[in-house]
Amino acid sequence: MIAGVLAMLFAVTHAWNGQSAVLPTLDIRTMSTDTRTVFTYVWHIITAENLVFGIAFIFMSFQSERSKIRFAAWMIAAILIVRLMVILGVTAILDVSALTDTFIDSIAIVIYVALIILGTTMKKKQSAG
């Protein structure tokens, strides 16, 4: 449940940050419309993924059969780890000094993945009765 709420929060903050801080800084005078379009939808693919992950985790938190959701949770965790590797790899290749700018996002993804993995290992409490 916590991972689902965090993913929904990440979706909102990612969309807001993109629309208010990142996308407006593009130098539209020197960039083609096609390039701006690609940059914008690539940005918002992550927003949409986070929203879908959030919905999936919230739905999975209500499932009683843990073995059925474990694979999906691990796949989402793997996607997030690959996402982090791409972020760090591309940043290191293009501007290694900018790696420090990825610190907060990296920590957030690591904590998020840890919560997902923790959630797959926890036993659901049985209700008394």
- For 36-57, the pLDDT digits (tens) are 888 888 889 999 999 999 999 9
CA dihedral 45, 47, 49, 53 (to 10 degrees): 180
- How confident is the model at residue 67, as a pLDDT? 77
Return the structure tokens found at 123: 């036993």
- How confident is the model at residue 124, as a pLDDT? 60
- How confident is the model at residue 18, as a pLDDT? 86
Q: How many CA atoms lie within 13 A of 76 on its CB side?
A: 27
Q: Are 11 and 44 in contact (CB under 8 A)?
A: no
- How confident is the model at residue 107, as a pLDDT? 95
- How confident is the model at residue 125, as a pLDDT? 57
* Residues in the chain with pLDDT values less than 70: 123-129
**What is the residue-averaged pLDDT of the chain?**
87
From the list 37, 38, 46, the residue with the least C-alpha distance to 105 is 46
d(CA 111, CA 30): 38
- How confident is the model at residue 33, as a pLDDT? 81
d(CA 50, CA 74): 15
